[in-house]
Amino acid sequence: SSLSSSLSKPTVWHEFSPLASASGAVNLGQGFPNWDPPGFVKQALKDAVDVPGPAVNQYCRSQCHLPLATALADEYKARPSWSHLPIDPLTNIVSSVGCTQVMYCAFRSLLSPGDEVLLLEPAFDIYASQVKLCGGEPRFCSLTTDLSAPLTSNDVFKFDWEKLEAAITEKTRVLVLNTPHNPTGKMFSMPELSRIAEMVEAHPNLLVFSDEVYEHMVYDDASSPHISFATLPGMWDRTLTLSSAGKTFSTTGWKVGWGVGPEHIIKKMTDLQNWVCFSAPSVTQEAIARSLVRARQPYLEYSSFYAWLADDYRRKRAILTEHLASVGLTPISPQGGFFICADSSSITCPDSVYHEPSLSAPQPMPRDWALARHLTQTVKVAAIPPSPFYSPANVAEASHYLRFAFCKTDEELEEAGRRLREHL
Ligand code: GLN
């Protein structure tokens, strides 16, 4: 059938970046790093184009450009928690046009009509739409929120285990995890993931898709290490791990994403990809393959590029946290990722904003949406309203939050701080 009307509408992403540009706002909305890729990553692409022969400027294997598959297998195996897993570059790795298309290929090739996919809200808006596009039924289970101190993402956003257990039925084909989590910054802990693994054991038809695109933006290593669900006992065979180069290397426009998992999952995805785009672009995959090798080596004064990246983001998190707190946008400190959810209860939104025409807001306009428009147009600092990350039944939970991205230059973060203090 043709695209259903709910999927033909503009989205929050279509509304807020243009509104930010039109308003001259500092754009702390859409999450992409707004600086150049590191020198070694740009050089890798220049070098890739010049590799002699047809290897990189023509089609690659439908599964994944082989040097990228090899670099990824090496990368994951170098992580102590992954080292025991049998990753074969030929059969356990798929690449596609960004993590988003990897996810699409996974839903499209693994869901049967009527299969349910369970999303933990707030959930990145693309998941539910892809599930619908692929003939599945999105189901939702929201994290509970506890705003008593301390205000860190892992303390505020918690599982209601009874609710989660009740939400998994014999129709549930996939549970989507996302750690570090967009938009909250929560990182799923070992006790939490172990409990989820018990549920997966109890439901033999259930698979887990684990979206880990923010895996290198992690801030408190000891108390909240990044844990891949696939590495838990017995879970390799039940899990598709997804990630990408976009956030890590500031190359969101190169659209290099990948999935790692058992052959029974990967084979279905690559069989499908053969008919969708045949293969993802070779040359950017080659550049990322080279960058992955370089990134594990010492970088500036750090043990690796990843160590530098986490430290740079830790610094940016501190800058934005201070600015938000100084105007009463109470930040919920993220353990990972590059977004801060702030409690905006103390800020008043003018009534007139609710009645402005909006490209994509549900009607009546939710409070978080109106406040995000007010901040973008009047304060000239753009943020994203979290309500698109909730299903209609739970959307009221979004009303007091706003999501601010700190993957922006220091100058822009400081300018945002000045504007917030001037206007709020
Ligand atoms: N994942 C990014 C975010 O949440 C980008 C979203 C998008 O462009 N659709 O901001």
Tell me the CA–centroid distance for residue 31 and ligand 1, in Å. Answer: 5
Residue ranges of the chain whose pLDDT lies below 50: none
Q: Under a CB-based contact definition with an 8 Å cutoff, are residues 218 and 226 in contact?
A: yes
Residues with CB under 6 A from ligand 1: 13, 30-31, 182
User: Is 129 exposed, middle or buried, given 0-12, 13-18 or 19+ CB atoms closer than 10 A?
Assistant: middle
Substitution site in 11, 13, 247 for ligand 1 pocket (most atoms within 8 Å of beta carbon)? 13
Token pair 């619908």: residue: 132
Domains assigned to the chain: 5-30+303-423 (3.90.1150.10), 40-295 (3.40.640.10)
Task: Give residue-wise pLDDT tens across range 279-320.
Answer: 999 999 999 999 999 999 999 999 999 999 999 999 999 999
Can you tell me the ipTM of this complex?
0.94
For ligand 1, atom 3: residue with the closest CA: 31
User: Is 80 exposed, middle or buried, given 0-12, 13-18 or 19+ CB atoms closer than 10 A?
Assistant: exposed
pTM of the model: 0.97
Q: What is the separation, in whole angstroms, between the first and last Cα of the chain? A: 48
For ligand 1, atom 5: residue with the closest CA: 31
Residue-level pLDDT at 1: 59
Substitution site in 14, 15, 99, 182 for ligand 1 pocket (most atoms within 8 Å of beta carbon)? 182
